[in-house]
Amino acid sequence: MAEVSEVLMSVLSTIRVPRPGDRVHKDECAFSFASPVEEGGLYVCMNSFLGFGSQYVERHHNKTGQRAYLHIKCTRKAQKGDDSNDQPKKKPTRMAIGVEGGFDVEQEEYEEEVKVVIFPDRQEVTSEDLATMPDVVRERVSMSMAGLMAADSVSHALQVQQWDGEVRQESRHAAELNQLDNGVKIPPSGWKCEVCGLEENLWMNLTDGKVLCGRRYFDGSGGNNHALQHFQQTGYPLAVKLGTITPDGADVYSYDEDDMVLDSKLPEHLAHFGIDMMTMEKTERTMTELEIAANQRIGEWEVIQESGATLQPLTGPGFTGMRNLGNSCYLNSVMQVLFTVPDFESKYVSNVEKIFSEAPSDPTQDFKTQVAKLGYGLLSGDYSKLTSDPADDEETPGPGGDQVGIAPRMFKALVGRGHPEFSTNRQQDAQEFFLHFINMVERNCRSGQNPSEAFRFLVEERIVCEQSNKVKYTQRVDYIVQLPVPLDQAMNAEELQEAEHQREEAESAGAPVPPTPRACIPFSACLEALSEPETLTDFWSSAVQGKTTASKTTRFASFPDYLVIQIKKFTFGQDWVPKKLDVSIDVPDTLDLSSLRGTGLQPGEEELPEVAPPPLMTPDVEVKGILGFHGTEEDDSLYSPLLSPVLDDSTVSQLSEMGFPIEACRKAVYCTGNTGIDAAMNWVMGHMDDPDFSAPMVLPGCGSAPGTTPTETISEEHLATIVSMGFSRDQATRALRATSNVLERAVDWIFSHLDDLESMEVSEGGRSAAESEGREPPPGPRVRDGEGKYELFAFISHMGTSTMCGHYVCHIKKDQQWVIFNDQKVCASEKPPKDLGYLYFYKRLTE
């Protein structure tokens, strides 16, 4: 023990005590999904506080020289009074997480065994051993151990550990609620909706005593919205759900506050209509119970989840489930699909050892490391094991196949960091996350292999000025095709019309409304809607020097190796409330888009002149030249009106508030001649992929941006200072031009425009760096092109009324068999619901 004490003394200076703000990773390995509960436990570096599984701790020691690690091993405790652990889980009784009666965050309890391990000889030191060591060693090591065990882990801090959905606020209408003296008395039972006669989901308005049915749910169940309509007509705000009234309370809803509320005067308000709260018994499920039932059934929605069938669980490499971290099914579904694409496997999984060996000092914050970790976890099969003790809840039907799986906590925290939506635990749009992740891959793969190229393609837009018949061709980069849903092309239009007629008759007669059938849309109609010319009404034509009408046609300029198609099921109603279209689309297994390939400029076509529209000048403003460009303080005669554009500040502001760079917004307003937000937005969408999209605006006839200093006056001293920081002369020149040759501003500017500078290096005179050196200019965005024939290999489905709620599941075709990935459930699919998907993934057919 004396020898161990000496070793600890020698490394004492490297052992730290965690302080507030330190990131402690004590429940997940930085390179794998090893945790303290698994065999081998977790080793936490007592200096950096990074966690490592037994497979990677040696690597960290060899790379950093760190020797002291806290080893944490957790062993599951046996349930009291039942060593077999066969007792059913306690059912939740309230809509909450981590509180008494709510959903349990962690069902199991663990015994923790901690000890210090000294590398490379793996000498072990327990708390008991420390008691015999010198005070300076014992105190320092004990404080570090205690601090590590008491600290919240990073993943714990990122999760919502306690949430109570039943915490209701007192309604602002309760205290002074107006109740009509209309003689209405409500019997203790036998209620019916006064409009349609429905006998369930009934609500009594606490102002006039009207008994009406509740809201209609997205699947056609529930009520017929008559209680809501009554509020909209009368403004009477509070209603109580009949059947939930007991001596302990009832469900009270405030339509005005749009939430479940408390009514401290509920006994008095009920007595007004002859209801004795103390004698009432519960006959209906409360809204909380309905929500709990829905949450317990999540993943069991009829068709998409293939419920009702006994699905065969699958395990092994490529069949690894992912734990839902709280509304993270959108991330799980997207990443499962992406790691079936060979480009992502080749980039991150095949090179996993090289990536890990080259990882920075904090691999938890390295994009490449965490993507490789996730990819290896999904494809290796190391975590594709069925749970040993599945839930016994008989009221939760559905397929088995729950796996131990992996919990992508570090990955989710890293890719969501700084993002207003993906950094939260709210449900998100899978399509938006796909593009967000692809964007991160693009930023992190500027050199070397870039797997996002598999999805990248060029879109050709052809605009025809209907007055001059001249054309304009532009190309832009995209990663996804958005297919519109033409509801007017439904194959069951007669059935839908009849259902709408029956709905109107039922509502007018006060009868129950029959369920609405699902619209069946042919996939060919969606493609036709995509390829149809779009009419542009306020198009500024450079040929006629004015606004006119034009038509825009969109085609493929290239076909990617992998094509992603989004069905635009989500739209906005006239009241701007998001809604989901309930449609079935006969998406084909194979797809030939060859007819949608663009042709480029054709013989006989004449291009529109490359002339910007004139800026709008206010007649009462004297036009002044811009000093320093074409005039001096004494002689300002060489001005150009183009140098003094009057931009519509309100349009610039609107675009800027949407998140576009201010310089791009100014260019959009200038190039569309101040014709309004719609025209400016069209310009922005058509030029987002321009290399100088966010660069300072350069006016015609001027070699520099407004408010900058021309090339010949740039300070060589300032240039040398910025170049000494590692930037090129072209980059330094551009920064100084953009900031009026002020060194401090130029340095700030260059660090805030790194992305732009890396993708576009402008040299003096406006030439590219390659041209300046006599080389060929770099090509445009790298795209792969080939035949436009594809085969479906995966699709992601969404259940719910909005992308902001509900659940995502993906189906992937592996070895000619469809497999359903539903978070931790991985099973062979029997009836893949290809007609109900949201995102479809195709791969190019090879001969």
Spatial CB neighbours of 287, under 8 Å, sequence gap ≥ 6 = 241, 244, 251, 253, 260
Spatial CB neighbours of 609, under 8 Å, sequence gap ≥ 6 = 542, 543
Continuous H helices in 339-456? 342-344, 352-357, 367-380, 409-416, 430-444
Q: What's the CA gap between 315 and 389, in Å, rounded?
A: 16
Indicate which residue of 173, 230, 269, 807 is catalytic.
807
Helix (H) or strand (E) holding 210: none
Calculate Rg over the CA atoms of the chain: 33
DSSP line for 168-184: -EEPTTTTT-----S--
Q: What's the CA gap between 636 and 737, in Å, rounded?
A: 22
Instruction: State both tokens at 301.
Output: 């929605």
Residue whose tokens read 């014992």: 138
SS3 track for 5-70: HHHHHHCHHHCCCCCCCCCCCCCCCCCCCCCCCCCCCEEEECCCCCEEECCCHHHHHHHHCCCEEE
Continuous H helices in 453-567? 493-509, 523-531
Spatial CB neighbours of 681, under 8 Å, sequence gap ≥ 6 = 655, 668
Spatial CB neighbours of 140, under 8 Å, sequence gap ≥ 6 = 12, 15, 17
To 5 degrees, how large is the angle CA 299–CA 301–CA 305? 65
Spatial CB neighbours of 37, under 8 Å, sequence gap ≥ 6 = 74, 76, 110
Q: What's the CA gap between 706 and 624, in Å, rounded?
A: 13
For 262, other C-beta atoms within 10 Å of its C-beta total 15
Residue whose tokens read 């739209």: 571
Q: What's the CA gap between 58 and 778, in Å, rounded?
A: 44
Per-residue buried b or exposed e for 466-494, using 16+ beta carbons within 10 Å of the residue's own CB? eebebbbbebbbbbebebebeeebbeeee
- The sign of the torsion formed by the CA atoms of 554, 558, 559, 560 equals negative
Q: What's the CA gap between 295 and 273, in Å, rounded?
A: 35
Under 8 Å between Cβ of 582 and 562? no
Instruction: State both tokens at 74.
Output: 């957790």
Active site residue 329: yes
DSSP line for 80-134: TTBTT--SPPPPP-SSEESSTTSB-S----EEEEEEEEETTTTEEE-HHHHTTS-
Residue whose tokens read 């070793």: 7
Indicate which residue of 196, 213, 329, 665 is catalytic.
329
Q: Report CA 447 to chain centroid distance, whole Å.
A: 26
Active site residue 226: no
DSSP line for 716-737: HHHHHHHHTTT--HHHHHHHHH
- The sign of the torsion formed by the CA atoms of 344, 347, 348, 349 equals positive
DSSP line for 217-255: PTTS-B--SHHHHHHHHH---EEEETT--BTTB--EEET
For 715, other C-beta atoms within 10 Å of its C-beta total 14
Q: What's the CA gap between 183 and 712, in Å, rounded?
A: 90
Instruction: State both tokens at 69.
Output: 């690690």
DSSP line for 414-431: HHHTT-TTTTSSS---HH
Please count the residues of the chain. Answer: 847
Residues labelled catalytic: 329, 807
